[in-house]
Amino acid sequence: MTTLLLILALGWPLCVAALGIWQAYRTPVARRRYFTGWWLSAAWPALLLAYAGEAQWAMDAWMLGSQWSLDALSRPWLAFTALLWSFAAVHARGYFAKEQARAQTGDSAAERRLLRLALLWPVTLSGNVLLIIAQDIASFYLGFAVMTFAAYALVVHNGTADAKLGARAYLILAVLGEGMILGGLLWAAGDTQSVMLEGVREAVATSDYGVAMAALLWLGLGVKAGVIGLHVWLPLAHPAAPAPASAVLSGAMIKAGLLGWIYVLPLGEASLSPALTQLGNIMLIAGLAAAFGAALYGVWQHHPKAVLAYSSISQMGMLTAMVAMGLAAPEVWPLLLPGVVLFAAHHALAKGALFMGTSISEHMPRWSPVVIWMLLALPALSLTGAFAGGLISKWSVKSALYEMHHETLISLLTWAAVGTSALVSVSLWRQWQQRSAGGSHPGQWGAWLAALVAALITPLWLPLPEGSAVVPPLKEWTSLMWPLPAGVLVVAFGLLVTRYGRLATPPAGDLWWPYAWLGQHVLKGVRRAGHGFAALKARCVDIALAIETRAMKSVTQLTAMEGWMRHHTSGLMMALAVMLALLLLWEGAS
Amino acid sequence: MNAAWLPLTALAASLLAAVIIFSLPEEARRVRTSVNLTAAVIKISLVALMVKRITNGDEAVFSFQVVGNIDFVLRADALGVMFAGLSSVLWLCTTVYAIGYLEGTANRKRFFGFFSLCVASTLGIALAGNLFTFLIFYEMLTLSTYPLVVHSGTDKALNAGRIYLRYTLTAGVVLLFGVVLLYSLTGDHSFASERGLGDYLDDHRVLLTLIFALLVGGFAVKAAMVPLHGWLPRAMVAPAPVSALLHAVAVVKAGAFGILRIIYDLYGIELSVELGVTTALAVASCITIIYGSMRAIAQQELKPRLAFSTISQVSYVILGVSLFGPFGTIGALAHLLHQGLMKVTLFFCAGIYAEELGIHRIDEMDGAGKRMPLTSLAFTIGAFGMIGLPPVAGFITKWYLGIGAIQADMYWVVAVLVASSTLNAIYFLPIVHRLWFRVGPAHGHGHWPDEQRLGRLETHGWLLWPAVFTAAISLAAGLFAGLPFSPLDWATRVAVGEYLP
């Protein structure tokens, strides 16, 4: 039964894509619907699978030999991923309803875009599911690659210049990341001769070059997870992508990078080498730098989705810091892991709800504005850790750190939460400024509300081990809650201050611009060098040809000499005969 | 039990086909097609028989004495049959494709005759049991390919043919020199002999190195290793099926296969490592891999880009050979097959684009995915395979090569592999992007350069199905690499035979 579910979880999305092709082939444009009931159901088998209990599969014929499993880590991960994909699909149906209507009336560009999205959405999903259940390297890498490259269609969907730029940044960094992941995986797998992710962890932990492997894998997967420096695609891609795509991108897919870290890094293993601990410290600093830096930069953004993208970077920075603890202070990891999973799951749903919320404020339903804004604020409140699911997920992380006496990190994370609440406040403020009425599709607000509720009650439905999600004791509530008013106050104060002096908005994508500048100059140099080499080669060929011509000329001269010899045959023969005779005479004489 | 008839009939199948085709009149299209296809199918069944015999543990050998102590030997060993299998399967695909491609053009008799000869020589190379036999078929391949390269008869084609001959014939002379030196040193030396040339190491170290350099230098021209690759991009003027065959199995692979034979069956791996020639080879192949990819990026036309990609990809085989260890060997052997499948797919697709839509330049490919979905899908699979993304077969070989490099403590090779993947992505992803994500003539923007409607489907069925078939096989070879008789499985079998005799 579980096996059947597994096959469906991976295969059903592909079937849905195939069905989409079939429909596109059969039905005329005027009647074609891209987001059918079948399409919505793509993630359901995976969701069922997550609740079907633990299981393991092994298949030798699959690539390098595969092992898939559903365990304490992959089950909750699959659950929140599949849930978010399901909600986002329903949201997409509403979100794209107008575009579909345009396509049906003959807008061929809309038709093309929708078809592409409808086909590649389930493919991306199946990649995401595969990488979660994979325990062998090949399947994990396959899932990761499928997800990464198919998601290009999700990012580029709108086809505007911004979308193209975002998609380009996404793809360039993805290719770089894939390269680093491949290098790290190969290195580790070659070291232990294993094709399982377990072997990678072992190699990283025991090999002399473990820290180099770990660094490659951290950075490679970090492209997805938005490690500072490699995060530049997020604020470029998110504002340009459609809201449901942003939701899965920010909720489910960047979590794939995090899950990858947990899969390939020897987190929580005793007696790690000092170099690995050092790497853990670097990761910690990078994570905290992302958590604070993204908040500081993000609050200046105009586009609510850019603000939310920076919020994602900030949140992933916190998660990076927690993962780093697995290397820097391994003894805390077993306690921390359930908290990390809960944190990730809650962030996925809350961020999904927030991104879907941006489409709600753009097409406000005909409800009382007060209700709408309260609902929009709910996931934001939860994300800051002051409320419902967020409160519990924050506490589950903090209690683990408390237990191991990492008070500094706790206070830093708390301060980072001020950044989070500032970011979400700005995002809500920007949404308010850019709101527009116009009514939304039931699918649109339905999915949004569902994701919202799911985010608030994350600990209730997430299949975590017993006792890993507890309500914090009352005396801790103040320490968990104060960042929220603090963040709001900071933003309010900032608004008051900046009201009187217009400040230029820093461009979304921060470091992308210097990177792009640098890249262009390097490329220019390479191109110039290339022309230089081409000229050099041409000169070499010329010289070789000249030598050949000269050689041919001397060979031709030989024929001329032959002619001369032919002309003087009789004389030469005479001379030869005389010489021979003389030789004979000389020999006879001596 | 020896089945001497088996390698001989396999060879005769294509030779006979060539003879029959040459004796048929130009107009006898149906007969020629049937002869071609029958011979191809017969050959596949014969190779399948050989595979069966080898799994049972016996090899079929055919030999007779030519002069003195020089023998003509055909031996169906595991390595040879692997190459023979590739050549026979791809012969069928390419023949089907060529029939569709050349429909209604002139000189088809000449084309198919030499095509069969070319494949016969490839099979001879695969099954050759000693260096002498190898050399015969190797030179036969050079000569039988020339008419195919210059098939169109334009000035450009003739020029390319001339350059091709210059390179390959010079290489042939160098090779011959090496072979003569070797024979004068050791006498006849079968590929099947267990001893290798280790006995001569103490007295003739320098001579052995010289002979190695001569032999590998000779083969490297066909394997298009930098800086001996100049002929390959020019030979792109040949018709698409020829390019496909040239790049996937015949000429380029013959060179690589020759190097395999030299290292594994003539010198032996230990001796090669002892002489230190493998490191030199590894460096040369890495330079080729990177250089080929860099040049590919600069190409604006589809076929030259694929040609430079071949230069880069074939050196993976050489690289794998030069990594001492079973994983590198498996990677090299599997790549021999995988690269063939993927590259043939890409060239089929390039030919289809050129025939159906008149596309030659990459910037003309915008939106072709809508007009030709199956072709573009096949192209996408091939391109992803070249980048080395799972689940396409290219990933499997890259994986084994990487593992082999790590185990040989050559960490820089992994860097080269990763760099090459990235470079491949840089020159293949834009094409895929153009196919699927840009708007072009299929969406009502502009016109195709020269659109034909060759068939009821997106193009002529005889062109389309071979491409789809090879794309499917490339995908399956990666996805189900663990199945028995997959390319990886067979490569493992050969490698195990080399390392655990």
Decide if A278 is inside a domain. Answer: yes
In a 10 Å sphere around its CB, with 0-12 CB exposed, 13-18 middle and 19+ buried, how is residue A42 labelled? buried
Return d(Cα B421, Cα B295) in angstroms, integer. Answer: 14
Closest CA to A178 of B427, B60, B417, B383: B417
Residue A363 belongs to domain spanning: 2-510
Do A579 and A462 share a structural domain?
Answer: no
Contacts of B472 (CB under 8 A, 6+ apart): none
pLDDT in tens, chain B (501 residues): 577 888 899 899 889 999 999 999 988 888 999 999 999 999 999 999 999 988 888 888 888 888 877 889 998 888 999 999 999 999 999 999 999 998 888 888 999 999 999 999 999 999 998 889 999 999 999 999 999 999 988 999 999 999 999 999 999 999 999 999 988 888 777 787 766 677 777 788 888 899 999 999 999 999 999 888 989 988 888 899 998 888 888 889 999 999 999 888 888 888 888 888 888 999 999 999 999 999 999 899 999 999 999 999 999 999 998 888 889 999 999 999 999 999 999 999 999 999 999 999 999 999 899 899 999 999 999 999 999 998 899 999 999 999 999 988 888 999 999 999 999 999 999 999 999 999 889 888 888 988 888 888 888 889 999 999 999 999 999 999 888 888 899 999 888 887 765
Say whether residue A149 is in contact with chain B using an 8 A CB cutoff: yes
Which residues in chain B touch residue A152, judged by CB atoms under 8 angstroms apart? 437
In-domain check, residue A526: no
Calculate how close chain A gets to B483, using CA atoms only, in Å.
5
Question: For residue B75, what are the β-bridge partners?
Answer: B61
Are residues A407 and A545 both part of a single domain?
no
Chain A hits for B388, CB-CB cut-off 8 Å, are 182
Considering the domain architecture, whether residues A490 and A540 belong to the same structural domain is answered as no
Q: Is B422's CB within 8 Å of A65's CB?
A: no
Place of tokens 């290339």: A530
Q: How far apart are CA A487 and CA A494, in angstroms?
A: 10
Residues 6+ apart with CB under 8 A from A62: A138, A139, B479, B480, B482
Say how far residue B235 (Cα) sits from the centre of its chain.
15
pLDDT digits (tens, 9 = 90+) for A16-44: 999 999 988 888 888 888 999 999 999 99
Nearest to A128 by CA among A14, A236, A266: A14
Distance of alpha carbon A467 from its chain centroid, rounded? 32
Asked whether B123 and B84 are in contact (CB, 8 A), the reply is yes
Contacts of B436 in chain A (CB under 8 A): 116
> Residue A519: inside a domain, yes or no?
no
Query: Hey, what are A133's tokens?
Result: 């259940």
Q: Does A172 touch chain B (CB under 8 A)?
A: no
Q: Is residue A434 part of a domain?
A: yes
Q: Is residue A527 part of a domain?
A: no
pLDDT tens figures, A451-470: 999 999 998 899 888 777 78
- State the DSSP code for A251: I
In chain B, which residues have their Cβ closer than 8 Å to the Cβ of A61?
480, 482-483
What pTM did the predictor assign?
Answer: 0.92
| Residue B412 near residue B401 (C-beta atoms within 8 A) | no
Residue A563 touches partner B, C-beta closer than 8 Å: no
Structure tokens at A542: 């010329």
Is the domain of A345 the same as that of A417?
yes
Q: Is there a single domain that holds both residue A428 and residue A559?
A: no
As a whole number of angstroms, the distance between CA A356 and CA A95 comes to 9
B227: preceding bond cis by omega (within 30 degrees): yes
Considering CB atoms only, which of A175, A176, A189 is closest to B403?
A: A189
Of A59, A145, A179, the CB nearest to B418: A179
- CB of A400 closer than 8 Å to CB of A470: no
Which residue matches tokens 């919505």? A40
Instruction: Identify whether residues A69 and A37 lie together within a single domain.
Output: yes
Which of A443, A475, A510 is where one domain is finished? A510
Low-confidence ranges of chain A (pLDDT < 70): 501-503
Within a domain: A525:
no
Same domain for A427 and A374: yes
Contact criterion met (CB < 8 Å) for B390 and A108? no
Residues A190 and A226 in one domain: yes
ipTM of the complex, rounded to two decimals: 0.92
A63 closest CB neighbour out of B390, B414, B443: B390
A545 with A430, same domain: the answer is no
Tokens found for residue A336: 């921390």
Residues in chain A: 590
Encode burial over B340-372: b for 16+ CB neighbours within 10 A, e otherwise. Answer: bbbbbbbbbbbbbbbbbbebbebebbbbbbbbb
A574 membership: H or E segment, kind and range: helix A569-589
Residue A498 belongs to a domain: yes
- List the beta bridge partners of residue B73: B63
Q: Which two tokens stand for residue B83?
A: 């190459």
Residue A142 touches chain B, beta carbons under 8 Å: yes
> Is residue B282 packed enough to be buried (19+ CB in 10 Å), middle (13-18) or exposed (0-12)?
buried
State the greatest distance between any 2 C-alpha atoms of chain A, in Å, as a whole number: 137
**Is A206 exposed, middle or buried (CB count within 10 Å of its CB: 0-12, 13-18, 19+)?**
middle
d(CA B121, CA B126): 8
Same domain, residue pair A461 and A418: yes
Tokens of A268: 């929580």
Instruction: Name the residue facing A62 among B398, B443, B482 (closest C-beta).
Output: B482
Q: How far apart are CA A447 and CA A452, in angstroms?
A: 8
Q: Is residue A20 part of a domain?
A: yes
Q: Which of A478, A510, A542 is the last residue of a domain?
A: A510
- For A386-398, b/e burial (b = at least 16 CB within 10 A) is bbbbbbbbbbbbb
Instruction: State the total domains in chain A.
Output: 2
CA–CA separation, A524 vs B495, rounded Å?
A: 45
Both A258 and A396 in one domain: the answer is yes
